[in-house]
Structure 1
């Protein structure tokens, strides 16, 4: 009888094939519309102010409930995804988001739109947790980091599309079409994703090994691998004791606490740095005396560092690794951040802004897209990711107020001090507490924190740690 370790060995031993790319496409498509909807908010709210359908106070409420919904969705997806499965959760949350978007397009008033935005936020927050977590459980260990960075790159291109379509559609056809596009797109992807299988690792973690074997055999056939040979090779690997269902409280026990602290740290740091710099840089430039037009022009050049950062992460994910990649780019970004307040010319301001944006997207690719889901065992993967994302979203609600206070009291230097301090704390905590996950099976990573022992008193998972790596 197979267990999670042998199922994981078979998945990690597969050659990269069209199956993996199709899986990436289906997961990326759902997360793309999720991200698209986040970015259309600015265009829609500006149009509603112009038409008199909303006020600044109502717009602020719209933004606030988005974050509240995403925070709630991140939490719920962790609980539901580990309890009922990845397939149930990614279909459930995408359905919620898609139908709520359609309802938002038909909203009779701003108050109804705010309510539907809260529901949409739940789906959007859940999709991030489930998408990255599910992908990590299917992709072979040698490619897992690079696939995470590709997914991150695809998602972040939605900023350009949402801005372009907003410019093209809203002035002529109104803001409702933006929600209709997002909702119809999400529901179309929901239909396509009905063919996606359940995660074999999750099935095995629930002792549903026959179902897990059937899914893996189907994937092996698609990859041109003989299942009998793969099963025979996997049978030679040391067995891992069957895991329990896992409880939320396990994340805060001694064996997993350092993993939980690490996951929370990298996502809290990412959201602080991202929202403090990327979301506020146009305002900073205007306050420093640049015209609005010039500010937006400089910002556009700076933000070109985003896709460059994702490409750098793709190259380095399986070379430098996630742990040391986060530490290294936290320090590099901190150095650029410390230099930024002293830049005088537009060229230097733009160059440093480009470099900081680039580092932020490298960190995003390493952390939320790859590292956090890898930290937790299968039975707790989505709950661990959910708790980490929930903490990050909660902090992001307060970030605008902290940034405004820092800028008002200390200028751009105050904001950059916040950013640099956050990056240094992240580098320290990840460097001390973090574990490296590069090219390692998920079972090997989980075995480091398992205290399961066999009859002789030896740690079963510790002995299996290196042997489960292909």
Structure 2
């Protein structure tokens, strides 16, 4: 046996309970991962208000988070492609869970910042391994829709976090936000260890054909029993026959074959990271500095953050119909317009409406970029590396984000922050339009056929 056509066999399977199980298990971990990211806004606002922290310490908290996430994303890229997807996700949630309990017990802001950096290691790993692994299980013709659904599950944590922060932080204190993450992270970690399997595509790429065949046969048998009829015939067209692929070097991502794809993926995720965390981490603090109470500030933020799940839902409905590239271009242009209008608006109701619209548009491209487009751009042997490098670029930009935002706020005012976001959105529309490729409804093997396989 020199090949098993894992990609062709997985792509011809009908959607089943197996796919939903993988969606829920990966989605639960990503939900908690993003919940942990998003809780920073409410927690930091409260810490400034009660004198436990300052704007400068808040900036350090956010930067240390992204240093950890950068390292986590980069290391996961190497570990996930070398030792397996399952090995990588055995570690990330465990780190998040334990570090969250430690953060809840932090005796000072310095200790909280340290534990947040450790948390960041697991948080950066989860987003990389989650989307890339799920893309290897879902059939090509519905991959965009189902990965967008994964994004919807994950990004539902944004309004959930906002509403929990609204009730918990003023009444019970900020520490309970970390306790929630710690308890649930360890529960999901145990469920994943018990029920989530290794990617057959990765096993075949590494030449572990017997193990890949065993997992594939179990999946096929389970789905055939559920559907009550035989499975469709395997169509090997457009699928490379993998025979113990070499692991590939990370520097191959910057070779002639992959350079454009790597640049597009890096710039795409730099933008979506910058947009997301400027809004999520800084809006409550900005409102409080303008004299708005912590409760009202969190209420405003909650309304705006409702755009996130709606954006992910819309992304799931349109990405397989209209394609990744044209949707990205149009949405980035609309984000630029919305960001510019937000910068010159002053009335709270209009700001909330514009904030909601911006978040809705942002999470359409987040669902497409993080979950679908970037992992699709790289072959199996480089997928976690490529996704990890792109995410690392986003995290590197985020290390500078809090200092850039503080500088803009102190030097030029609130308007300059949102004008900067608008300008980068227009720039991304241009980048994707010139250098992006379309991947809609193509198998992962077909997308990368003829590109340094």
Length-normalised TM-score, structure 2? 0.89
- Counterpart Cα distance in 2 of 1:298 and 1:24: 31
Aligned to 2:334: 332
The answer for the alignment partner of 1:458 in structure 2 is: none
Alpha-carbon distance, 1:428 to partner = 1.6
Q: Which residue of structure 2 lines up, in the alignment, with residue 463 of structure 1?
A: none
Distance 1:183 1:219 in 2: 32
Matched-pair contact (CA < 8 Å) for 1:309–1:362: yes
1:464 corresponds to which residue? none
Structure 2 partner of 1:233: 234
Separation (CA, whole Å) in 1 of partners of 2:346 and 2:107: 49
Which residue pairs with 1:197 in the alignment?
197
What is the correspondence of 1:428-467 to structure 2 with a 5 Å cutoff? 428-450=430-452
Asked if residue 377 in structure 1 is aligned to residue 349 in structure 2, the reply is: no
Q: Distance in 1 between matches of 2:323 and 2:61?
A: 39
Q: Which residue of 2 aligns with 1:116?
A: 115
Q: Against the structure 1 CA distance between its residues 238 and 418, is the aligned structure 2 distance closer, same or farther, given a 3 Å change threshold?
A: closer
Check 1:164–1:308 CA distance in 2 against 1; reply closer, same or farther (3 A cut): closer
Cα deviation code 1:172-191 (max 9, x no counterpart) = 65544432321221111111
Report the CA distance between 1:412 and its aligned residue.
4.9
Q: Tell me: CA distance 1:173–1:299, structure 2 relative to 1, closer, same or farther (3 Å).
A: closer
Aligned residue runs from structure 1 range 281-292, under 5 A:
281=283
1:273·1:422 contact (CA, 8 Å) conserved in 2?
A: no
Q: Structure 1: how far apart are the matches of 2:421 and 2:42?
A: 27
| Structure 1 residue 221, shift from structure 2 partner | 1.5
Answer yes or no: is 1:64 the counterpart of 2:63: yes
**2:404 alignment partner in structure 1:** 402
CA contact (8 A) 1:275 1:400 kept: no
In structure 1, runs of 5+ residues without a counterpart are 453-470
Contact 2:30 2:126 in 1 (8 A): yes
Call closer, same or farther: CA 1:110–1:352 in 2, change over 3 Å.
closer
1:293 to partner: Cα distance: 7.3
- The 3 A distance-change label for structure 1 pair 241 and 22 is closer
Matching of residues 307-326 of structure 1 within 5 Å:
307-326=309-328
What's the offset of the Cα at 1:364? 0.7
Please give the per-residue CA displacement for 1:3-50, whole angstroms capped at 9, x wherever unaligned.
37x210110100001110111100011111212222333444455567
Offset at residue 337 of structure 1 (A): 2.7
- Per the normalisation by structure 1, the TM-score is 0.86
2:451 is paired with a residue of what secondary structure?
coil
Q: Is the aligned partner of 1:188 residue 2:187?
A: yes
* Counterparts of 1:336 and 1:171, CA distance in 2: 32
2:156 matches 1:157 = yes
Q: CA RMSD in A?
A: 3.0
Aligned to 2:38: 39
Of residues 406, 416, 421, the one that matches 2:423 is 421
* TM-aligned CA distance change 1:147 to 1:118, over 3 Å: same
Between the aligned partners of 1:130 and 1:416, the Cα distance in structure 2 is 31
**Equivalent-residue separation in structure 2 for 1:183 and 1:55 (angstroms):** 25
Whether contact under 8 Å (2:64, 2:399) holds in the other structure is: no
Deviation digits for residues 273-319 of structure 1, max 9, x if unmatched?
A: 22344544556678889888776655443333222211211111101
| Alpha carbons 2:204, 2:242 under 8 Å: kept | no
Instruction: Tell which deviates more after alignment, 264-273 or 10-19.
Output: 264-273
The worse-fitting range, judged by mean Cα deviation, of 289-298 and 189-198 is 289-298
SS at match of 1:40: helix
Partner deviation per Cα, 1:64-93 (whole Å, 9 max, x = no partner)? 321211111111111111110000000111
> For structure 1, which segment, 34-43 or 215-224, has the greater mean C-alpha deviation from structure 2 after superposition?
34-43
Matched residue of 1:376: which SS?
A: coil
Would the aligned equivalents of 1:101 and 1:180 in 2 still touch at CA under 8 Å? yes
- Looking at structure 1, the residues matched to 278 and 47 of structure 2 have their Cα atoms a distance apart, in angstroms, of 26
Larger radius of gyration: 1
Q: Secondary structure at the match of 2:62?
A: helix
Over residues 321-342 of structure 1, what are the superposed CA-to-partner deviations in whole Å (9 max), with x where a residue is unaligned?
Answer: 1122111111122222333445
| Structure 2: unaligned runs, 5 residues or longer | none
Does the 8 A contact of 1:3 with 1:239 survive in 2? no
Separation of aligned partners in 2, 1:97 and 1:288: 33
Count matched residues. 449
Which residue does the alignment assign to 2:14?
15
From the superposition, tell whether residues 49 and 406 of structure 1 become closer, same or farther in structure 2 (CA, over 3 Å): closer
SS at the partner of 1:240? coil
What residue is the counterpart of 2:305 in the other structure?
303
